Structures are given as C-alpha cells and as structure tokens.
Structure 1
Amino acid sequence: MAKSMSYPLIKTILLLSAANLFMLFAWYGHLRDLHQKPLWIAVLVSWGIALIEYCFQVPANRIGFTQLNLAQLKILQEVITLVMFVPFALMYMHQPLKWDYLWAGICMMGAVYFIFRN
C-alpha cells in the first residue's frame, strides 16, 4: 500500500465502514430489538437493512479493486469489521469488553502486515 492514501482508497474505507455498520444491524440488531417478534419479521427487516448495506458494499469493492488486489480488499473489510464490531457489541448490544477483542485485533494486524507487504 502506498505511503499516502489515495482518494479511491479513502473512499473505499469510508464506504466499507458504512456498509459494515448496516451489516452489523442486519446480522445482530434483531437479537436485541426483534427477539420477541416472529422469525420471518426479523428476516425481512434484516434483508431490508442488508439491501442498504449492499448499496455501500458493491461500490466500495469496485472502487477498492482499482487499487487493491482481492486479498487486500478482503483483509481491509475484515479489519473494518472488527473495528466496527467492538463498539457495536459494547455500546449497542451491551456486551462486556473482553481481552479476546485485543488478541483478535493483534491477529488482524498480522494479517494486514502479511497481505499488504511488498
């Protein structure tokens, strides 16, 4: 990856972050907000949220693929997922902070190093 981030890379990161926020709610938000509703309602709501997620994810991947290879794009998405998941789990889902989040982050830093090294 270049020493300074290019505009397409910044745009990719922002779009992937927005997509991931929607996907967290699609995948996990129903566990808090719709747990007493029938499953089919949770599925429909999640699909609706996921549709919005795809409106960010697809352009992010197209833009990102102009500067990154597929593996780099995937690792970038996974890092963003972890960065977004921890605050979501703590603040929205009221889950306890765990040391495992730190260890997972360190593992992801290793993945970033290996996938982006020259």
Structure 2
Amino acid sequence: MPEISRYVLPVLLLLASNVMMTLAWYGHLRFEHRPLAIVVLASWGIAFFEYCLAVPANRIGYGVYSGAELKTIQEVVTLSIFAVFSVVYLREDLTLNHLLGFALIALGAYVVFAGPFAERVIVTAR
C-alpha cells in the first residue's frame, strides 16, 4: 500500500463512518412519533455499517498514527460532521458558544499532534 494512502485512507474512512454514526445516533430525532424499539433497531443497523468503516480505519491508520492520534482525528471529524448535521438536518442554530467550544477542542487536537510537550513521556508502556 502506498505510504500516502496509509495517512489519508484512515481519515476518509473515519469521515464516512462518522456520517453514518451521526445518522444512527441523531437522525431519529426528527421522527419522535416512531416507537423507540424501531428507532433503536434502525440505529443499530446503521451502526453496523459504521463499524465496518471505523474498524478498518483504525486498523489501517494504526502505525502511522498512534491510538491517541486516531481518537483525536475521530473526535475532530465527529464534531465537524455534527456541526453541519445539526444545522442542515436538525435545523438547529450554531451559536458562538458552540464554535468556541469546538475551537477549544481543535486546540486540544493541535496539542496532541504538534504541541510543545509532544516528546515528553509521562507514563511509559514498558
């Protein structure tokens, strides 16, 4: 596998899996009249396909990214997709507080990937 795809493919798979995850977790909110049992089963069905993308994303990405970096990518992707989803699908407002909170999380992602303490080991795995 070309080296570039080991960096890009996990991110693309996480993007696709997070679209499905967002639909599974929040898509039913516009269908309050549906029975909860049906909603749970439908969400579970969507989540199965989400896992079919998320698990390979992490398997392929592990090695070029650490576990913490993969989780950070997933969280930033999740918030980005959810921000769009909440405005477009749920028709909710995106407030300054939301944007500020997301920006702080993005700052946290920066610290994980390139922060000033990137090489300092706190707890060793050995």
Question: Shared fold by TM > 0.5?
Answer: yes
Deviation at 1:105, TM superposition (A): 2.4
- The structure in which a higher percent of residues are helix is 1
The residue aligned with 1:94 is 91
> Given the alignment of the two structures, is residue 103 of structure 1 paired with residue 80 of structure 2, yes or no?
no
Cα RMSD, aligned residues only: 1.3
The residue aligned with 1:16 is 14
The residue aligned with 1:31 is 29
CA–CA distance in structure 1, aligned partners of residues 36 and 70 of structure 2 = 33
Q: Deviations over 1:94-118 (max 9, x none)?
A: 0112112311221122112211124
Q: Secondary structure at the match of 1:6?
A: helix
The residue aligned with 1:114 is 111
| Residue ranges of structure 2 left out of the alignment (5+ in a row) | 119-126
| Residue ranges of structure 1 left out of the alignment (5+ in a row) | none
Structure 1 range deviating more: 94-103 or 56-65: 94-103
The residue aligned with 2:122 is none
TM-score normalised by length of structure 1: 0.90
Q: Deviations over 1:65-85 (max 9, x none)?
A: 121111111111000011101
Structure 1 range deviating more: 24-33 or 106-115: 106-115
TM-score normalised by length of structure 2: 0.84
Match of 1:68 among 58, 61, 65: 65
Q: Which aligned segments of 4 or more residues in structure 1 are displaced greater than 3 angstroms?
A: none
Larger radius of gyration: 2
CA–CA distance in structure 2, aligned partners of residues 23 and 109 of structure 1 = 20
Q: More relative contact order in 1 or in 2 (CA 8 Å, sep 6+)?
A: 1
